């Protein structure tokens, strides 16, 4: 019995993996399906807007849409025209450790992928190998309304040198940021900070992170985020553990009543 | 598939309302291994994936109600320990409640059922300093917990290799009708059967 108890206790205190978020409030989109639109302002990526849209679709089906425990579904939106500021302006007004979003580039809804050729703040020479900058720049309380992905469109950008599969994984990584995830410290995860030799699936950190932000609520849930504060952390587990006991007691009671009436 | 599972769940519950009159047949506790997303998760920078068998221990317990002759209903709860313990700041736990219809054939039991699988992920907040490509950034950690719950379809086969012990292979199908998030996990377990613990003549066993 002691052995069994020890095993059960060790299971209850198990540890998992190590994803992070990119905002302090754990914000997420409230809707289940989030379209990703493409701005028609790219000049140096070597791929068309339509091809980018196709890659976004693949980023959804190959990566984020494969998580059965997450309600989030990424879809390809449409090619849109945007203000020229999205190409020329800096994404963050300050960027000393945390980003203060440039309000001129606020995305009203969903996710917008724009090209950006700003070589002063976003992609200066010292950071010309940065592939993109992403920020959910329209957040209300704990809800992301819109997010911006700015792809480095310098003439010497390294996005254009990647294979299509790598481009898809880059877009999937940036979409991960757009929906609220931060980086993972391990290279097996899509949310690792840099490209790895082979990337064609999510890692455990990605799956756990997207499940945390976008938990699925079947069969009766409507897909809302439901975080449990610290005081209620044990409630669901307690319910599960007590369920068989309660069931047995109910059956015993029923048995007792049926015998007393017979 | 959600409606299929709901119908299946409803039928099983309706039938189970008459099940006790037929009698509790068995109760059991077990240990096993839960393999989540076999071969579907990248585990290194070279594209290798997790194996088709992961040793993620889990405990289970259940009650079997004989409905009619060789047909039974089985209610079961399971608690899984997942993962590699890479970061102590984040905890993850999977547990599930299942209700299955079962057909007993000699030393074999064939199961089909439905249930709810829950995944709880929690952390106490704080930050972790991670590379951001050009330097480092303090990324926030989750502060709180969230529980994802999935309606699953289960199917399994169990073999009694001893009067009181059995082994079982059972698949847990998530989102069976979904185009892209359809996944299969499975359990391999060993159970010890106590028989009907509510009856003096409790030794109802296979064989």
Give me the mean pLDDT over the A20-34 stretch: 90
- At the second CATH level, the architecture of A33-213 is 3-Layer(aba) Sandwich (3.40)
Domain map (residue ranges) of chain A: 33-213, 231-261
Place of tokens 């409630």: A235
- Give pLDDT tens digits for A197-228: 999 999 999 999 999 999 998 876 544 444 44
pLDDT in the model for residue B156: 96
Lookup: tokens for A175: 């979409």
Give me the mean pLDDT over the A4-17 stretch: 42
Radius of gyration of chain A (CA): 23
Task: Indicate if the pLDDT at residue B13 is higher than 60.
Answer: no
CA distances from A165 to A69, B32, B145 (A): 25, 38, 34
Interface of A with B in 211-230 (CB under 8 A): 211-213, 215-219, 221, 225-230
The pTM for the full model equals 0.82
- Give pLDDT tens digits for A56-115: 999 999 999 999 999 999 999 999 999 999 999 999 998 666 788 999 999 999 999 999
- Give pLDDT tens digits for B39-98: 999 999 999 999 888 788 999 999 999 888 889 999 999 998 755 456 677 888 899 999
Separation CA A244–CA A84 (nearest Å): 62
Average pLDDT, chain A: 83
Residue B30 placed within a domain: yes
Q: Is B181 on the interface with A (CB under 8 A)?
A: yes
Question: Residue B177 in contact with residue B190, Cβ under 8 Å?
Answer: no
The number of folded domains in chain B is 1
Number of A:B CB contacts under 8 A?
Answer: 243
Question: Residue B58 in contact with residue B79, Cβ under 8 Å?
Answer: yes
pLDDT in the model for residue B153: 95
Confidence of residue A250 (pLDDT cuts 50, 70, 90): low
Residue B42 placed within a domain: yes
Of A26, A193, A197, nearest to B131 by CB-CB distance is: A193
Torsion sign (Cα): B31, B41, B83, B79: negative
Residue B22 placed within a domain: yes
Residues of B in contact with A94 (CB under 8 A): none
pLDDT in the model for residue A55: 97
Residue B11 placed within a domain: yes
- Give pLDDT tens digits for A121-150: 999 998 889 999 999 999 999 999 999 999
Task: Please give the share of chain B, as a percent, with pLDDT higher than 90.
Answer: 49
- Beta-carbon count within 10 A of B35 CB: 21
Instruction: Supply the ipTM of this predicted assembly.
Output: 0.85
Where is pLDDT greater, at A228 or B196? B196
Pairing of the two strands A33-39 and A73-80 = parallel
Task: Indicate if the pLDDT at residue B142 is higher than 90.
Answer: no
Reported residue count of chain A is 262
CA distances from A227 to A214, A224, A232, B70, B124 (A): 10, 10, 10, 44, 12
Task: Indicate if the pLDDT at residue A13 is higher than 90.
Answer: no
Residue B126 placed within a domain: no
Q: What is the DSSP string of A25-56?
A: T--B-SSSEEEEEEES--SSSSS-HHHHHHHH
Question: Residue B63 in contact with residue B74, Cβ under 8 Å?
Answer: yes
CA B60 to chain centre: 8
Q: Which residues does residue B108 pair with via DSSP β-bridges, in sequence order?
A: B105, B159
Residues of A in contact with B139 (CB under 8 A): 20-22, 182-183
Q: Which domain holds residue B190?
A: 2-87+94-117+148-195
Confidence of residue B197 (pLDDT cuts 50, 70, 90): confident
Least confident of A22-36, A128-142, B122-136: B122-136
Q: What is the CATH number of the domain that holds B13?
A: 2.40.160.20
Residue B129 placed within a domain: no
Confidence of residue B176 (pLDDT cuts 50, 70, 90): confident
Q: Is A167 helix (H, G, I), strand (E, B) or coil?
A: helix
φ, ψ of residue A233 to 5 degrees: the values are -60, -35
Interface of A with B in 190-209 (CB under 8 A): 190, 193-194, 196-204, 207-208
φ, ψ of residue A94 to 5 degrees: the values are -130, 145
pLDDT in the model for residue A80: 97
Of B5, B63, B145, nearest to A233 by CB-CB distance is: B145
Q: Do B124 and A65 touch (CB under 8 A)?
A: no
């Amino acid at each position: 019995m002691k052995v069994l108890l020890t095993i059960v206790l060790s299971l209850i205190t198990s540890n998992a993996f190590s994803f992070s978020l990119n905002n302090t409030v754990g914000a997420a989109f409230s809707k289940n399906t989030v379209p990703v639109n493409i701005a028609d302002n790219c000049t140096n990526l070597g791929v068309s807007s339509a091809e980018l849209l196709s890659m976004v679709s693949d980023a959804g089906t190959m990566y984020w849409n494969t998580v059965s425990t997450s309600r989030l579904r990424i879809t390809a939106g449409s090619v849109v025209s945007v203000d020229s500021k999205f190409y020329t302006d800096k994404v963050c007004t300050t960027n000393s450790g945390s980003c203060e979003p440039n309000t001129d580039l606020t995305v009203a809804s969903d996710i917008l992928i724009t090209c950006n050729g700003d070589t002063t703040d976003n992609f200066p020479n010292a950071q010309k190998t940065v592939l993109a900058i992403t920020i959910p720049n329209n957040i209300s309380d704990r809800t992301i309304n819109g997010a911006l992905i700015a792809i480095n469109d310098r003439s010497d950008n390294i996005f254009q040198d990647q294979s299509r599969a790598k481009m898809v994984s880059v877009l999937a990584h940036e979409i991960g940021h757009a929906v609220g995830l931060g980086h993972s410290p391990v290279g097996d995860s899509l949310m690792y900070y840099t490209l790895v030799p082979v990337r064609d699936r999510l890692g455990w950190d990605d799956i756990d992170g997207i499940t945390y932000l976008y938990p699925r609520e079947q069969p009766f849930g409507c897909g809302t985020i439901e975080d449990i504060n610290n005081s209620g952390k044990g409630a669901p587990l307690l319910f599960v553990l007590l369920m068989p006991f309660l069931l047995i007691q109910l059956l015993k009671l029923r048995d007792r009543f049926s015998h007393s009436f017979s | 598939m959600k409606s299929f599972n709901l119908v299946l769940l409803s039928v099983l519950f309706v039938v189970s309302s008459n099940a006790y009159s037929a009698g509790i047949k068995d109760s059991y506790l077990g240990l096993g291994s839960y393999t989540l997303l076999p071969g579907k998760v990248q585990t290194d920078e070279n594209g290798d994936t997790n194996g088709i068998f992961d040793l993620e221990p889990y405990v289970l317990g259940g009650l079997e109600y004989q409905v009619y002759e060789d047909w039974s209903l089985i209610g079961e709860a399971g608690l899984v320990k997942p993962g590699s313990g890479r970061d102590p700041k984040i905890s993850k736990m999977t547990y599930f409640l299942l209700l299955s219809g079962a057909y007993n054939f000699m030393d074999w039991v064939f199961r089909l059922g439905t249930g709810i699988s829950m995944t709880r992920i929690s952390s106490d907040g704080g930050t972790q300093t991670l590379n951001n490509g050009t330097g480092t950034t303090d990324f926030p950690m989750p502060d709180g917990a969230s529980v994802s719950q999935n309606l699953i379809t289960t199917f399994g086969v169990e073999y009694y290799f001893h009067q009181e012990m059995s082994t079982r292979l059972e698949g847990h199908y998530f989102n069976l009708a979904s185009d892209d998030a359809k996944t299969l996990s499975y359990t391999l377990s060993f159970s010890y059967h106590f028989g009907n613990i509510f009856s003096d003549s409790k030794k109802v066993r296979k064989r």
